[in-house]
Amino acid sequence: MKKGSLGMRVCFGWRQFLLFVTLVFFLTRLISVLELHHDPAGSHQTKTKKYNHLVFGPAAGEGLPNRLQCKGHKALNKSHISSSSNTSNGGDGVTFVTVFTVYNSSVGSGSSESTMVGKVSYNKVDRSMAILNTFINFIQLMMPQSNTVILTDPASSLPLKRNRVTVYPIQGEYSRDKLMLQRIRSYIAFLEDKLKEQSRKPGKRISNIIFTDSDIAVVGDVGEIFTKYEDFHVALTFRNNKQQPLNSGFIAVRGTRDGILRAKIFLEEVLKVYSSKYMEASRMLGDQLAIASVVKSRTSLNAKAFSAHQPFLEDINGASVLFLPCEVYNWTPPEGAGQFHGMPLDVKVVHFKGSRKRLMLESWNFLQSSTSHDLSDMLCLVLSSGRTKYDF
Ligand SMILES: *[C@@H]1O[C@H](CO)[C@@H](O)[C@H](O)[C@H]1NC(C)=O
Ligand SMILES: *[C@@H]1O[C@H](CO)[C@@H](O)[C@H](O)[C@H]1NC(C)=O
Ligand SMILES: *[C@@H]1O[C@H](CO)[C@@H](O)[C@H](O)[C@H]1NC(C)=O
């Protein structure tokens, strides 16, 4: 009896060992395949290299219908409204709101380290100011009737004076490691101010609000969502990614008392979940995990909804939430060759996440310098260089 069971155990041990070996083999294979996918040039030397000049690869989505087709930096599809076309009504009644602060890096090292973009030399502070200004440039080009609000630390005096742009100080804790948390707090404080304003002047029209990261380029009239989809209070962008189906870089709020109130309640719940469950998460991801957690706990949404490409509406805690596909409203360069399979012809927002801020500045420079000022050509530039990691 004893012997038998020992034999069984040994046998089991062997099987486990074989399974283990097989698993290790598969995992190492998988990791090397993943690495290959992340590596634009396919060579291990370039894996950590970050470029200080534009590097191009093939444009994803070649041959796919309804995806931008490029020949070099020439777009073969010109369906996009170009920057010279008549968009003078674009953005009427829309306010873009972003959280931005400059870090006084005089204490840290490398603050004087400068880098060239085109003919301009930038130190670290200049660089982040250039990104903010480029963010505003794209908005004002595509939606000239819109306004922009920069929520910021009262302690940082932003050197920014532009038409249709308001610097809006909100008290808070803007240190790097608290910034994502503070961002939600600032959004909530801004919505509270809007509600108070509206109580004081009930007749006054409130503008529709789009909260975004400041490393995005608006490349179409995103304001049209408010007329195209009439029944939502809050809009979020989704993608087909199990761990992070929702991106926090784009949150639209309808400018009605009801819309603002429900958006505020939604964000307060996100804040609560963030502070109680995701404080340990990487400082960049906590808010997205919290948003996904609130959405999932309040609906029966399954992964299937996020794998489709169509917008859909869900009721969450009394708020009518519109889910918009990232591929159109929050398109990210590294995913161009991945799950999005190229760039949809109707893309409205390009998000220069991670080490792609240089590409954002270079794209704007390209648009300004090319004789045709053609936005589709610029999108070809983004599409073919978005998988490269840049120095900032
Ligand atoms: C985009 O351009 C390509 C190449 O000219 C063409 O084959 C394709 O039909 C165009 N797509 C659309 C939707 O117009
Ligand atoms: C551009 O739009 C404005 C406002 O809708 C209009 O008054 C103007 O005539 C348009 N210009 C052109 C060239 O179409
Ligand atoms: C940054 O630090 C310098 C030196 O300590 C100081 O003179 C400057 O006022 C600070 N700027 C901001 C925006 O805090």
Give the CATH fold of the 84-367 domain: Spore Coat Polysaccharide Biosynthesis Protein SpsA; Chain A (3.90.550)
* Closest ligand to Cα 103: 3
pLDDT over threshold 70, residue 325: yes
User: Could you give the CA distance from residue 173 to residue 184 in angstroms, rounded to a whole number?
Assistant: 12
pLDDT tens track for 73-82? 899 998 655 5
**Where residue 10 falls among pLDDT bands split at 50, 70, 90?**
very low
Residue 14 in this model has a pLDDT that exceeds 90? no
Ligand 3 pocket, residue 157 CB under 6 Å: yes
Query: Which ligand does the CA of 159 lie closest to?
Result: 3
Nearest atom, ligand 2, residue 88 CA: 2
- The pTM (predicted TM-score) of the whole model is 0.83
pLDDT for 87 beyond 80: no
Q: What is the pLDDT of residue 285?
A: 83
Please, which pLDDT band fits residue 23 given cuts at 50, 70 and 90? low
**For position 182, what pLDDT does the model report?**
95
Tell me the best of 106, 126, 174 to mutate to test the pocket of ligand 3, counting ligand atoms within 8 Å of each CB and taking the most.
106
What is the pLDDT confidence band of residue 210, given thresholds at 50, 70 and 90? very high
Rounded CA-CA distance 234/319 in Å is: 7
User: Using a 6 Å cutoff on CB, does residue 76 contact ligand 1?
Assistant: yes
Strand partners, 217: 350
pLDDT tens digit sequence for 251-277: 999 999 999 999 999 999 999 999 999
Q: How many Å lie between the centroid of ligand 2 and the Cα of residue 86?
A: 6
Give burial (CB, 10 Å; 0-12/13-18/19+) of 23.
exposed
104 CA → ligand 3 middle, Å: 6
Q: What is the whole-number distance in angstroms between the Cα of residue 129 and the centre of ligand 3?
A: 16
Q: Are the C-beta atoms of residues 359 and 50 closer than 8 Å to each other?
A: no
β strands within 311-368, DSSP E: 312-316, 319-325, 349-351
Largest CA distance in the chain: 88
List, for residues 339-364, the tens digit of each pLDDT value: 778 999 999 999 999 899 999 999 99
Residue 207 DSSP class? P
Query: Could you tell me where the DSSP H helices lie in the chain?
Result: 2-38, 124-142, 179-200, 225-228, 257-277, 286-298, 303-307, 326-329, 357-369, 375-385
What was the pLDDT predicted at 304? 79
Q: What is the mean pLDDT of residues 203-221?
A: 95
User: Measured from the CB, is residue 121 less than 6 Å from ligand 2?
Assistant: no
Q: Which ligand is nearest to the CA of 88?
A: 2
H or E element that contains 209: strand 208-212
